[in-house]
Amino acid sequence: MTNELAEDPTSAAPAPRATRATRATRATRATLADIAALASVSVATVSKVLNGRDGVSDETRDRIDALLDARGYSRRTTAHRPAPVIDVLCFDIASPFSAAMTAALERVVRRAGRGLVISGAENDYGPPAGWVDGVLHRDSLGVILLLSELSPRIKTRLRSRDIPVVAINPFGPPAADASSIGSADWNGGFLATRHLQELGHTRIAIIKGPDGMQAAAARLAGYRTALETAGIRVRPEWIKPGRFVHADGYAQGRALLELEERPTAVFASSDLQALGVYDAARSLGLDIPGDLSVIGYGDLSVSQWASPAMTSVHVPIAQMAEAAMTLVERSREQPGLSFRHVDLPTELVVRASTAPPRRAS
């Protein structure tokens, strides 16, 4: 309205004098059509890039992004308000660890006046088809990855809408293009193994986690270091592969306990694995902790309900959820914030499943 009156020669109001800054802004301001022409693409293609939609090659997307930035094109209007939700992508959503972490996230997010949308990751630890379209449609405040991963292409689409990504327990090494929260898994493995040594055990086995998982590798490294520091030989036949599930704990526990020279203690890399070892020991008529000491990892509710109550490495789930939410909020407030990885401390909670070795067999 004001601009129309100023340009009307019959209006009594004088036209405002354009300042040098105003003239410069007008000279550099670009429309979608201008960007499309410069990039030699259609307006629809520029719109796809602006809205983070798929269907644009990486090369074209990079070219359009560079032009948008060079021309100072605002990707968000001041009237735009993101939906007050956080998206969580979680692998093995039904597992006790995932359930405990998502419950902690829900409490943190609810206190912040936000909502939570939880999606299950696929077997490759990535999102299901169409997941990113839903995140962009909701215009989420941020994405939290729990034991899951995103491809570079999906991360690019999220960045195009200023949606930050924070990983909790990233599957592989911490990514250089996203913040992440973990726990001190090397220390956890070391503390568990040292506790068994202090009880007098020298025949200590471990059931690992999934190959390629950073947390599993760190727990194994802590176990090895504790043995080597104490001058105890690391025996390959007492290092068993596994996933963080009961079935693998049972199968590998049986395999260990049926060896001619069986271990007197087993460090399982998850509480569910440890419960599988419990059942394997009982199936062979062995007593816990009289014949076999067992340590789990996670300190979930199931470890406290086990019989006997399980010694376990405590993972600070509530603090990890708080830290993830803090990183999402800081990334929203400071788009240029450097990516970082934070490891929160672990500790050993000693219960009734560990004791000095009573006899060797």
Do 191 and 292 fall into the same domain? yes
Residue 309 domain-assigned (yes or no): yes
Same domain, 161 and 225: no
Each residue's pLDDT, cut to its tens digit, for the chain (361 residues) gives: 333 323 333 333 333 333 333 333 334 557 878 888 888 888 778 777 776 666 788 788 778 878 877 776 655 543 445 558 999 999 888 899 999 999 999 999 999 999 999 999 988 889 999 999 999 988 899 999 998 999 999 998 998 888 999 999 988 888 888 899 999 999 999 999 999 999 999 999 999 999 989 999 999 999 999 999 999 999 999 999 999 999 999 999 999 999 999 999 999 999 999 999 999 999 999 999 999 999 999 999 999 999 999 999 999 999 999 999 999 999 888 877 778 899 999 999 999 999 999 864 4
> Residue 355: what are its φ and ψ, rounded to 5°?
-160, 165
Asked whether residue 332 is domain-assigned, the answer is yes
How many structural domains is the chain composed of?
A: 3
Instruction: Check whether residue 123 and residue 199 sit in a common domain.
Output: no
- Residue whose pair of structure tokens reads 């979930």 in the numeric block: 300
Same domain, 323 and 336: yes
Q: Are 118 and 226 contained in the same domain?
A: no
> Quick count: other Cβ atoms within 10 Å of Cβ 52?
24
Question: Which of 239, 234, 275 has the alpha carbon at shortest distance from 259?
Answer: 239
Whether residue 228 sits in one domain with residue 160: no
> What is the domain range of residue 31?
15-70
Q: Any long-range contacts for 338-343 (C-beta under 8 Å, 24+ apart)? A: 339/175, 339/176, 339/177, 339/178, 339/179, 340/179, 340/180, 341/174, 341/179, 341/180, 341/181, 341/182, 342/179, 342/180, 342/181, 342/182, 343/182, 343/183, 343/184, 343/185
Indicate which CATH number applies to the domain containing 234: 3.40.50.2300
The predicted model scores a pTM of: 0.78
Is the domain of 189 the same as that of 132? no
Q: Are residues 198 and 280 in the same domain?
A: yes
Same domain, yes or no: 189 and 307: yes
What CATH number is given to the structural domain containing 60? Answer: 1.10.260.40
Looking at the structure, tell me whether residues 203 and 292 fall in a common domain: yes
The answer to whether position 94 is within a domain reads: yes
Asked if 138 and 163 sit in the same domain, the reply is: yes
**DSSP letter assigned to residue 280:** H
